[in-house]
Chain A
Amino acid sequence: MSRSGSPFMSETTAATNHIGLKREDYSGSKSTLCIGCGHDQITRWIIQAGYESGIDPYNVAKTSGIGCSSKTGAYFIDRGYGINSVHGRMPSVATGASVANRNLVVIAVSGDGDTASIGIGQFIHAVRRNTNMVYVVENNGVYGLTKGQFSATSEKGARLKSGDVNQYADIDLCQLALELGCGFVARSYSGDGKQMVALLRAAIAHRGFALIDAISPCVTFNNLPDSTKGFAWLREHNVTLHELGYVAPYESKHVEQEPGTALEVDMPDGSHIVVHKLGDSEHDPRDRKSAMAVLERDRNEPGHVYTGLLYYRPDTELPPLEELRRLPAKPLASFGAEELRPDRAAFDGILAQYR
């Protein structure tokens, strides 16, 4: 975490957050990823978001699959509970944990291989069920741990250090999620800490499935000057759709309002996403069609990477899985025999049908 300086850190002055914890209370073990890896930046933004939002670290479930990205669950929020499951199957494991204890804040970290290839089926069904989780894809367009093979998010024509050229069209996870009715869809870039933190905080506040497809460069295998998921390219071609802010219910709202330039999107828990329009972008994240149009533009203008909150729909329109299944506030995991086992009379009633 100490590998590159954070432009964001200097902005934080408070020593403790609103539940009295320090930033280091949200830290994790030392990263073993390559120096300069985009994933380590994202790790830092997750720590920052957790700290700023004052989430209870003991209630955090860090779920991941297999790959470089999936290792990062060990690098943040040590006081949370990590589960590094198997390749491509994290969404089901996370869903199981989420319904077993609905107080858990599920922060899932996956990669483009883990999500867009081996795990695409599970990803789709977790979106479809609207499992209450923050799902971060650390998307670098390449398999890192197996040393540099194309992933399904590499665009057609992409070239790797090995000289291989990708012949297939890429899978756009944001487009897919929108198609599936996901209520929170964002694309971001590991180097944009401010946007990442705002998105992560809003995603945590969102009840339901929240996707953050974070382009996260692989410095070792996919960082050529023309790698569209490389640092050099993103510095040039990252187009931020808007400047984002997140204001929690307990935070004082001092948004510098220039009339007509900021949009406040209410979240059901009383928090707000503040969207400052930038340049000529007319994108309204509450408009699904507008989000589709941005992604269409992204596809048709190769090289441009539009980042920001693509789509947000309050969960009141489609409740998260645990509400859909009418789960009690008390975790299923904490019920005892007396609350789960039908009494003798009820049991006799069950058996009576079979006499």
Chain B
Amino acid sequence: MDMIDRYAHEVGQHLPHRLRADVEAELRSLLADAVEEKARQGGVPAGRELQASVLRDFGRPQDVAARYAPGPQYLIGPRLYPAYLTAVKVMLPILAALIVAVVAAGGFLAPGEEPSLTVFVRATGRFLWSALENLGVLTLVFALVERAMRQREPADQAFDPAALPPVNDPDRVSYFGRIVALYLIALLAVAFNVFPGWVAVPVFHGSEGAAHPLLAPGFGRYLPALNVWWGLAFLLNLAVLRRGRWTRPTRWLDFGLELGLAAILLRIVTGPPAFAYDRPIKVVLGWVLGFTAVSACVMLFRLLRRQPAEPWAAA
């Protein structure tokens, strides 16, 4: 029964570890039964040929394993797939445009080098690499969201038509917007913590790798606060996505995060040097701080004057 053992083992290789031994044992027993029965009916020996015939009828190991495997077999399901495709379609042209801009400004030219096929190939390689990196983070974020949303929905969740939100619903969550926010938060957290070299500007008329890092050693003192902020912002966006709509508590939490960001930015702008080009970067961050403060005021105003987050529920 060597072929049956190999088949059962192969099916097991495509299954979660906890199911493997049990399914393999059952398959061995079932297939042995099938082979014996066919041998008896046909009056032929239960040899390799008959085993192969039974296994062919049974199907390819990965197809059989897919029927045994519990739960959905995909990373990104039909609900989020359109938003994922949109995000990819938005991301790729932006990346291409950035690379073209850098190429046009001579960013990939070594000192004294003229534009040539080599430079073009180098720029294309850089684009493909960036596209892969971004696609990886984007896919990871979408997969996490898919998993989080899947856990939220029991199959027997009742549908109440009376609870349908109104057509003009300010609290409806845009999947695309929230997921892009999650993606950007994840990207920033990974870049600042794991690949600080990504936080850099390409140096024009320099060699390909000559990108000037923007972060100075002094920036490290702000990283813990930023990490907490990114973590909380990620969790809030995930919670809002799972619920499918904004509520008053999540709006207040969002406001709190906006205030937190303003506080961190204020500390950075008024603190000791943290960047390679400290003065110009802090001017830019000062503007960001201004926008954040205005945004927080607008949020507070809306929160204080607004009707309940679910107006139809109050009706």
Chain A complexes with chain B: no
